[in-house]
Amino acid sequence: MPSRNNAPDARNNAPDAPNAADEVTAPDPASSPDARSTPAAASSPDALNTPAAASSPDAPSTPAAPTLPAAITLTQALARRWPPRLGGSLQLRVVAITFLLSVIAMMLVGGYLSSAVRDGLFSDRRDQILEETARGFESMQTSLDSATATTAAETQQLVWDLMRGLRISGGADRDVMLLRNPKATAGVPIIDYTSRPGRTDLITDELREDVSTESGQFWQSIQVPPRNGASGDPVPGMIVGSQLNIPIAGAYELYIVESLENEQNTLDLVQRVLLAGGVVLIGALMIIAWFSARQVVRPVQNASAIAARLAAGQLTERMTEKGAHELTQLARSFNEMAMSLQEQITQLEELSRLQRRFVSDVSHELRTPLTTIRMAAEVMYASRDSFPPALARSAELLSTQLDRFEALLADLLEISRFDAGAAELDAENADVTVLLQRVTDLMEPLAESKGTHLRIDKPQEPIRADIDVRRVERILRNLISNAIEHAEDQPIDVFLAADENAVAVVVQDHGVGMTAEEAAHVFDRFWRADPARARTTGGTGLGLSISSEDANLHGGWLHAWGRVGEGSSFRLTLPRRAGRSFEVSPLPLTPEIEKEDDGVPEITDPAAVPRLAEGWLEVGDDE
Amino acid sequence: MKGRVLVIDDDTALAEMIGIVLRAEGLEPVFCERGDRALAAFRESSPDLVLLDLMLPGKDGIEVCREIRAESGVPIVMLTAKSDTVDVVQGLESGADDYVPKPFKPKELVARVRARLRSRAEPEPERLEIGDLSIDVAGHSVVRNGEQISLTPLEFDLLVALARKPWQVFSRELLLANVWGYRHSADTRLVNVHVQRLRAKIERDPENPEIILTVRGVGYRAGSGAQ
């Protein structure tokens, strides 16, 4: 009966179950020594209830422990890197986060399931083995006790027969060993029995110590070599030992080794199934996340696209308001915003239209009486020879001042057209050289009358560009007449050049020049460099402002430069193809001065202009 | 040449002034102050030329222009204070031959009026073929497949100018000089609008013209008659 009594003791060894279990899961050589060393310490009587209690809380955490922190660090590392990498797509981000979290969840659940299955398998098998071995030990002892052998040789024969029988009763995987108790002194020793050579190595000193000193069953988890010999990894197994009292021979120890290979195989299968299931589930979760993110992201993308179209001026764009969720509210608020925007824009458009209408009406209302006055003045002027001198002079003054009045009115209307946004570019592909020639031919008489002349430097071949001829002609006329006005008897240089993107005209006088501050104001309306200086050519004070607007309308630049005593320079740069942009003007703003003056570096890049010495200025908002 | 000019303008001072200038030129002005009476005045006076203000009480100048054009090819010159493209183009499209932007000088007005009256001078007997159109210059008629096509004198002159030299590409400026009689550069939109109007009458498909072809960047020329 000792083995029966020993049953609780056998369970006392259960605290080492987690460790043993560990072995089953991962045949880690590092933990094997622990497993082998623990059972010796585990023999306290009150440990009866512990196995179940001890194994379940420990078991799940033990295998998961090495993987979980790794997963957390991975998550943190990814979380740190991901927002910038996947910042572009919310949907992708949601899927990525779902992937991470579901991997973690799968690890936890899978780890728990795997260890629970493992523990269950192990404890069932362990109980079964212990029961079988107990029965084996008992029947062995009974057989020996009732034996009639009288000599050592007979005993030897009997024991060996019994051992063989014990081995066969346990199936192919069972090994049995009979060793003499090292502490035995009495009796005639018989030869130890081992069912398979080398198996005695599996018995640890601790187990041997326990078995040799105390009665009852003792067991320990071990690694056993695989069935097919030396090759292959060791498989988990169990060794159970008990004292055996052999008549004549004395105290012996009987050990039974059982393999847990089948259980290991079952566990492997379960783990594989869990892993496969986990992978499939994670895949499914990612797809689900993709679709649910799409549900949210799609309306947002839709809203963004509609907002872009609204911004582009399609004011009637609206989102569809269906359903009763948050996105519908978004759509509703969005549509309200769009509605209010549309109203305001329509209102502004209406105002702008009214202003244009007003300008147009004023133009008509002013022009009709002006026409009558004009005609009357002309009729009087035509017959001024027959008038007395004072009246004749009055008719002359009336006529010339009416010209000025008309020019002013025309310029004002032009400016108000720009202000109202009503100015339209009427571009055609024209030869700029011909246009420049026409303007200079027209302006030459005026230049002559002011004691100056125009020096024109332009290429022979035609330079075609998409320009509004009327506006460009007006710009050139304004620039040249402005130069004539300030030329101070010095010749005026006019340069024309083009590259593949842009065409440029520089008009440069060598007269009084102007300061940087003056150059900054030269395109202001009604601005005069010197208010005290009389306007001799009868400009309206709006010419350069209109020129600047005309240049902008082309997508071009109008630049001014001046230096006191050296003269001033104006450069018009226009794109050769309508709507195409350009980077560099084909002409420097001050070609002539640059050659003579050492102080001014060569300027080819207009972008560099603002950083240069005083006197430089850019006008035109396109840079 | 005694020319009768119908001045349709609500501004009596301007109308009177125009009258003074026209009389000094030996022309005979007739006046009408309201848009809704313009057509009656036109029928009554049967003028050689109409000077038409665009802003009129009673009826819009554009509408008046369309009505007169519907029953006569008499030259119509608009007096416009609006030189904005839309207004000018709209006026020309409704049938006006030319326009004088306010404020104008007497000489400008007289030049335009003379130019329009001059183009009615007697032409030489001449027949022209262009595409499937046959043009009787003296008889002032254009026929396609025996069917008469009604053109205003200006449209007719434009067609004849192009048809006489089918090998030549006419710039807009050249057409202005030849057809309108302007030596100085005038508004080339005149040419554009009249070509559109002419195409609408003589082309089978005005979107794909075969008789008056556009030469990009240069001007227009007569089609080679290819069908």
Q: Please tell me the total number of residues recorded for chain A in this structure.
A: 623
Q: Nearest Cα to B155, choosing from B100, B75, B210?
A: B75
Q: Nearest Cα to B35, choosing from B12, B16, B54?
A: B54
Does the pLDDT of residue B6 top 90, yes or no? yes
How far apart, in whole angstroms, are the C-alpha atoms of residue B48 and residue B28?
10
Strand order across the A250-259 sheet: A193-194, A175-180, A250-259, A235-246, A218-224
Partners of A399 in the beta sheet?
Answer: none
Interface test with B, best of A361, A363, A368, A403 (most B CBs within 10 A): A368
- Lowest-confidence segment of A95-99, A111-115, B121-125 by average pLDDT: B121-125
Task: Please report the pLDDT score of residue B49 as a whole number.
Answer: 92
pLDDT (tens digit per residue) in B63-106: 899 899 888 888 899 888 765 666 778 888 888 888 888 888 88
Displacement of CA B195 from its chain's centroid (Å): 11
**Chain A: residues touching B (Cβ < 8 Å):** 360, 363-365, 367-372, 374-376, 378-379, 382, 406, 417, 422, 424, 426, 428-430, 464
How far apart, in whole angstroms, are the C-alpha atoms of residue A40 and residue A35?
10
Sign, CA torsion B160/B166/B170/B172: positive
CB A187 within 8 A of CB A249: yes
Closest residue to A375, CB basis, from B21, B55, B87? B21
CB A123 within 8 A of CB A116: no
Burial B43-74 (b: 16+ CB within 10 A, else e): eebebbbbbbbbbbeebebbbbbebbbeebbb
Burial class (CB in 10 A: 0-12, 13-18, 19+), A542: buried
Partners of A502 in the beta sheet?
Answer: A575
How far apart, in whole angstroms, are the C-alpha atoms of residue B102 and residue A371?
6
Task: Please report the pLDDT score of residue A609 as a whole number.
Answer: 39
Residues of chain B contacting residue A360, judged by C-beta atoms under 8 Å apart: 82, 84, 87
Task: Please report the pLDDT score of residue A123 as a whole number.
Answer: 92
- C-alpha to C-alpha distances, A253 to A41, A220, A464, nearest whole angstrom: 20, 15, 114
Cβ-proximal residues to B176 (8 Å cutoff; 6+ apart), any chain: B182, B185, B186, B188, B190, B191
Region A387-401 average pLDDT: 91
How far apart, in whole angstroms, are the C-alpha atoms of residue A246 and residue A187?
9
Decide if B12 touches A, using CB distance below 8 A.
Answer: no
Task: Please report the pLDDT score of residue A573 as a whole number.
Answer: 92
Does the pLDDT of residue A388 top 70, yes or no? yes
* Interface TM-score (ipTM) > 0.95: no
pLDDT (tens digit per residue) in A476-503: 999 998 888 888 888 999 999 988 889 9
Range among A38-42, B41-45, B96-100, B179-183 with highest mean pLDDT value? B41-45
- C-alpha to C-alpha distances, B123 to A530, B133, B139, B180, nearest whole angstrom: 61, 19, 9, 16
User: How do B127-130 and B133-136 pair as beta strands?
Assistant: antiparallel
Residues of chain B contacting residue A369, judged by C-beta atoms under 8 Å apart: 11, 13-14
Closest residue to B21, CB basis, from A360, A379, A430? A379
Residue A425 main-chain phi, psi, to 5 deg? -85, 125
Closest residue to B106, CB basis, from A369, A378, A417? A378
Helix pair angle (A389-419, A326-382), 10° resolution: 170
Residues of chain A contacting residue B103, judged by C-beta atoms under 8 Å apart: 367, 370-371, 374, 406
Q: Nearest Cα to B56, choosing from B115, B25, B12, B93?
A: B12
Task: Please report the pLDDT score of residue A567 as a whole number.
Answer: 86
- Lowest-confidence segment of A263-272, A612-621, B17-26 by average pLDDT: A612-621
User: How do A250-259 and A235-246 pair as beta strands?
Assistant: antiparallel
Residues of chain A contacting residue B87, judged by C-beta atoms under 8 Å apart: 360
Q: Considering the entire predicted model, what is its pTM?
A: 0.49
* Residue where the block lists tokens 């071949």: A461
- C-alpha to C-alpha distances, A619 to A396, A520, A573, A616, nearest whole angstrom: 39, 8, 11, 10
If you measure CA to CA, which chain B residue comes closest to A422? B84
How far apart, in whole angstroms, are the C-alpha atoms of residue A497 and residue A502?
9
How distant is the Cα of A357 from the closest Cα of chain B, in angstroms?
A: 11
Closest residue to A367, CB basis, from B102, B105, B109? B102
How far apart, in whole angstroms, are the C-alpha atoms of residue A515 and residue A617?
10
Task: Please report the pLDDT score of residue A328 as a whole number.
Answer: 82
